[in-house]
Amino acid sequence: AKPRVAVIFGGRSTEHGISCVTGGSVLNVIDRDKYDVVPIGIAQDGRWVLEAGDLDRLKIADRVLPSVDATLPAVSLEQRADGTELVFTEATEATDVLGHVDVVFPLLHGPWGEDGTLQGLLEMAGVRYVGAGVLASAVSMDKGFMKVVLQAAGVPTMPSIVVTAREWARDAAACRARSEELGYPLFVKPARGGSSIGISKVHDASELDAAIEEAIAHDPRVLVEGFAAGVREIECGVLQMPDGEVRTSLPAEIRIGGDHEFYDFEAKYLPGEHTEIDCPAKVDDDLLARMQELALVTFDAVACEGLARVDFFVFPDGSLVVNELNTMPGFTPSSMYPQMWGASGVDYTELVDLLIQQALSRSTDLR
């Protein structure tokens, strides 16, 4: 029988719409002669539904992002008598069993999907899945803890502090003082976010409180970070092959222009803006080699699996800092990660297949 792949997209995070676009793209190219495909949407309220029929609607239309339709038939995860099989069941008709699932492709960004929570559910159910495991997902999702781990592994990162909603409520003045030690301008980010949502560049003291409060609205854990001045922004893809070997892609550079001060949500997803991508990036052999090596060190530092996109800042003197790694990077055909692999000789369809094959080759024991 063909392996059955559950492609899961949507989710409870603010990146719901982006994830739907990714889900639509992957469902378009996945080889149905090779795999039995089950499309599962997670609605914004957390409900799991069986997506079927017209997947064409999972696209950006008139600058509006799609979403999962919560009124579709609900599905649930069930552990059966043998304790290892995952079954999707229509909640409304207990008899309507969708069957076991061999592998899950969790195309989810942000909390409740990219952060180890779904991964934990799948580990408990003994189901293989694409991408990072529980720990790697959780550590990489939280920019505060990610930095602790990367610094311990000797990976250079920007200086930063964590401010929690509790600390802010108790003593905002102390939080301000700790932040200002980093010096303006500052970047303020929700610790567990993505797509630049909730991120502000803070030019001076007059903007700090609003930025922290904006980030707290997304996550009670907030990262306040020093500004990387005059840097090039270059990303590198990491891919684990079905035989376990880990490879790095050619990097790509993001050049921000127009009225965007940084690589914000609009610059990332909405067309007609002034962001330019150089894929592959124009880098000399020395920078290329250092970047690919540091991408691997970063991948291993968090014990990542499957895939990651490592985002760098390159200073004018050529030194590198890792801004972050994303364990489920944007994954539409035009997203950076697939583009970088395209430039490195792995096209989108093959990339999807390699990731599924890698997941299928995994042990469901401790690995």
Site stretch for ligand ATP (CB under 6 A), options 69-77, 99-107, 321-329, 356-364: 321-329
Q: Which of 158, 252, 308, 314 is in the footprint of ligand ATP by CB under 6 A?
A: 158
- DSSP conformation class of 263: S
Q: How far is the CB of 248 from ligand ATP (least distance, A)?
A: 17
Instruction: Specify the pairing of strand 86-90 against strand 128-129.
Output: unpaired
Q: How far is the CB of 159 from ligand ATP (least distance, A)?
A: 9
Using CB under 5 A as the binding rule, whether residue 106 contacts Mg ion is answered as no
Q: What angle, 0 to 180 degrees and rounded to 10, lies between the N-to-C axes of helices 143-152 and 134-141? A: 110
At CB < 8 A and 24+ separation, what contacts does 241-248 make? 241/354, 241/358, 242/354, 242/357, 242/358, 242/360, 242/361, 243/361, 244/361, 246/296, 246/299, 246/300, 248/292, 248/295, 248/296
Identify the CA nearest to 330 among candidates 116, 60, 31. 60
Using CB under 6 A as the binding rule, whether residue 44 contacts ligand ATP is answered as no
Is 305 or 324 the residue whose CB approaches ligand ATP more closely?
324
Do 312 and 233 contact (CB within 8 A), yes or no? yes
Is 268 or 362 the residue whose CB approaches ligand ATP more closely?
268
Q: How far is the CB of 231 from Mg ion (least distance, A)?
A: 13
Q: Which of 55, 155, 175, 199 is in the footprint of ligand ATP by CB under 6 A?
A: 199
Chain positions 244 to 273 lying near ligand ATP, rule: CB under 6 A, are: 262-263
Ramachandran assignment for 110, one of left (phi > 0), alpha (psi -120 to 50 degrees), beta (any other): left
Binds 250: which of Mg ion, ligand ATP, none (CB < 5-8 Å by kind): none
Using CB under 5 A as the binding rule, whether residue 311 contacts Mg ion is answered as yes
Identify the CA nearest to 319 among candidates 294, 336, 301, 282. 294
Using CB under 5 A as the binding rule, whether residue 144 contacts Mg ion is answered as no
Instruction: Specify the pairing of strand 128-129 against strand 103-106.
Output: parallel
Is 253 or 324 the residue whose CB approaches Mg ion more closely?
324
Using CB under 5 A as the binding rule, whether residue 233 contacts Mg ion is answered as no
Using CB under 5 A as the binding rule, whether residue 326 contacts Mg ion is answered as yes
* Token code pair at residue 233: 């922004």
Q: Which of 324, 328, 340, 341 is in the footprint of ligand ATP by CB under 6 A?
A: 324
Is 233 or 353 the residue whose CB approaches ligand ATP more closely?
233
Identify the CA nearest to 310 among candidates 123, 150, 174, 202. 150
Binds 262: which of Mg ion, ligand ATP, none (CB < 5-8 Å by kind): ligand ATP
Binds 227: which of ligand ATP, Mg ion, none (CB < 5-8 Å by kind): ligand ATP
Is 39 or 194 the residue whose CB approaches Mg ion more closely?
194
Please, which residues have CB within 8 angstroms of residue 48's CB and are 6 or more apart in sequence? Answer: 40, 41, 42, 74, 75, 76, 77
Is 272 in a helix, a strand, or coil? coil
Chain positions 210 to 239 lying near ligand ATP, rule: CB under 6 A, are: 225, 227-228, 233
Name the residues that contact Mg ion, by CB under 5 A: 194, 311, 324, 326
Name the residues that contact ligand ATP, by CB under 6 A: 158, 187, 189, 193-196, 199, 225, 227-228, 233, 262-263, 311, 323-324, 326
